[in-house]
Chains A and B, each alone.
Chain A
């Protein structure tokens, strides 16, 4: 039942996202048909050309009819044709999506690898210099603009130490610096949350009980305390996925990675509406799917949360 419920809510969210995505064309100022023709031809179109374009593209139909047509095509994988390049939007998405997914996954991995041990250490050594140091690092990490950190990483690790390439795509080496640049902000947020969450559970009776049973400190912390502390953290990680996708727009430009971010920015500046709609829709789908998976993770972390609804 829970799965069915979550699937239904995810579908409703996606439907809402698709309405907003479709509505982008109508929310932007100016006559979209005229703007598109200027983009395509480079000069002011005649009124006849604008009318003819509206007719060809179905822009004279009532908006609900246009939406149903658009949604029907989108469900069949047809998101239209780019006004700018004449390429299928789906083709462009397939071309650019892997670079963004790669970056998003890598930056989340960086964030979690840094945030969880540091957050735990900070909580376990609450009030110590380790705690103060990690708090300071978290403050710096969350305050630092990711593009600036990107330049800093390039100067240190590419220019000075010559360990990584400055920009581009290719192997693992091209992924390290952008992943760190993008993952640092999230690491700082997650670390503070892990710390807070751990502090809440670390003095609970079941943790004391585990200690009383003579279990080693590390097992108590990581198996008993952390597992329970992770539930709010996992929720935030799911929400942070949107942060990662937003940040990717900037980081992809700094590190010249041809991902969804650069595709979206270029499409916005070119008023290439089908591409903008396609990218926004894909980002919405990724966000909803990620949060759906996060919901499923709750059950693993705390079996009392039942996928069938309620607790046991």
Chain B
């Protein structure tokens, strides 16, 4: 009779202990799991698709300068994507190839030392050392940057390059104190507090331009998975989610505690048409493909209405883009069918190359395949892993390649050169091998690009690069698709994000938060 009693007793004790343990654990976990969201704190957490401690940025001690505002370049980028003073207050072209930049006075690094011209020279040399190809962007060779005095830096470009100030507004040219033991020690409004794999916490730099910026702290967290990033926002684990997937944007906006902001960026999606591979070497067929595509429908269906239907290869936010002046092809599939009939196309299958990791591009490829099928052109979608994608594209293996390009600086000259010049990076391999390329229309366009590169004024540059855009469309070297619009998700209580056409240049110094209950959430 005693055994059942003991048995029951043990079970009861065990159950009670388990229940208590689970309760205690849940209590502890709840405390740990709950963030400080929607309280009075002026600390903010931003979830990024990309890793703010990416391994490729060892030149910046693995704190990525994009988004973080720890380091600053000499030249900033205005909201209309023009160069503007940042660490340099002024710059002058001494002659065709010599530039002098005056540094802002009274700027200190996060470790308290003064910014000098020697720091600028050291930073540029470190960049050339780490990313040797940037000399192609800037027209600078290693050793061509010198300190004239404490506050003046001189640059000698290899060729005349009037857009030089804009070219060095890229984060690659952000200035660090390379004498500091632990880089990155920059001059930006936020300094590094802690870093760990995938996460960096910053605090306000109290001596920033002689005043303490707001907010007091920012944490950038790598949340690669799109759904997880959105769920983290909805849960309040993060305050801002960068790059919300377009198909989830409406749900984020409709959620009572979150909202979205969108901004047209300077990134354009397009189909690069191989001018030198049969059957797309036929201009009539290329023009037919253009007549078949309905950019507005593509944006509405595949991109959930977020983005701009494109007319040209460069986003309307790039100053010399002539989007507004470019004619739209159609859509007119009857006209497209006529062009196909008149062309030398005889039913071969066109290969359409897509990056297998890009979901939007894969869906776009399927829609294009249907439209091309309607005009009697057969296509085969070839999905390639991201590591092989660019190699396959520049090797000229496909008839059609869905690509997207944008610029992270105030001078997008390198884009037009990379894409349409015969010696640009996209065409160089085939051009060197057999004098062809991929989607470079030829000598005349090469000359226009070179003239645009050397143009002294914005109007002149627009004229040359505008003509490039017209020629590229007329010859059907591309099929324009969309200008990207990026989506930021935020907690409803968060305000003050200054969007920018270059998303990596978002400003955080106006961020503020309405305390819980004040925002109606």
Contact = CB atoms under 8 A, between A and B. Distances in A.
A163 B34 CA distance: 8
A162 B235 contact: yes
Interface string B369-389: 000000000000000011110
Contacts of A42: 131, 133
Interface of A: 29-30, 34-35, 38-39, 41-44, 82, 84-87, 95-96, 151, 154-155, 158-159, 162-168, 170-173, 176, 253-256, 258, 262, 268-271
Given A85-B55, A159-B234, A256-B228, A165 B32 contact: yes
Given A41-B132, A165-B237, A87 B55 contact: yes
Interface stretch (B75-83, B175-183, B217-225): B217-225
B55 A173 contact: no
Interface string B193-228: 000011100000000000000000000011111011
B232 A167 contact: yes
B1 interface: no
A269 B387 contact: yes
Given A35-B391, A158-B235, A258-B197, A164 B56 contact: no
Contacts of A154: 228, 231, 235
If over half of A's interface residues share one DSSP class (helix, strand or loop), that class is named, otherwise mixed; here it is loop
B425 A43 contact: yes
B58 interface: yes
Contacts, number: 109
B55 A82 contact: yes
Contacts of B58: 85-87
Nearest to A85: B55
Nearest to A159: B235
B5 to A, nearest CB: 15
A269 B386 contact: yes
If over half of B's interface residues share one DSSP class (helix, strand or loop), that class is named, otherwise mixed; here it is helix
Interface residues of B, number: 41
Given A38-B391, A85-B56, A258-B198, A164 B385 contact: no
B136 interface: yes
11 contacts: A34-B391, A85-B58, A96-B197, A151-B228, A162-B30, A167-B232, A253-B228, A254-B227, A268-B385, A268-B387, A270-B387
Given A165-B32, A167-B232, 15 more contacts: A30-B391, A42-B133, A43-B425, A44-B425, A44-B429, A86-B58, A95-B197, A154-B228, A154-B231, A163-B29, A166-B232, A253-B228, A256-B224, A262-B224, A270-B387
A172 B232 CA distance: 18
Interface in B130-154: 131-133, 136
B390 A38 contact: yes
A167 B56 contact: no
B32 A171 contact: yes
A166 B235 contact: yes
A176 B29 contact: yes
Contacts of A38: 390-391
Contacts of B26: 163
B48 to A, nearest CB: 11
B353 interface: no
A47 to B, nearest CB: 9
Contact of B223 (A29, A155, A256): A256
A280 to B, nearest CB: 16
Contacts of B224: 253, 256, 262
Interface string B479-493: 000000000000000
A87 B428 CA distance: 31
Contact of A256 (B28, B30, B225): B225
B33 interface: yes
Contacts of B29: 163-164, 172-173, 176
A39 B390 CA distance: 10
Contact of A162 (B33, B56, B136, B385): B33
Contacts of B25: 172
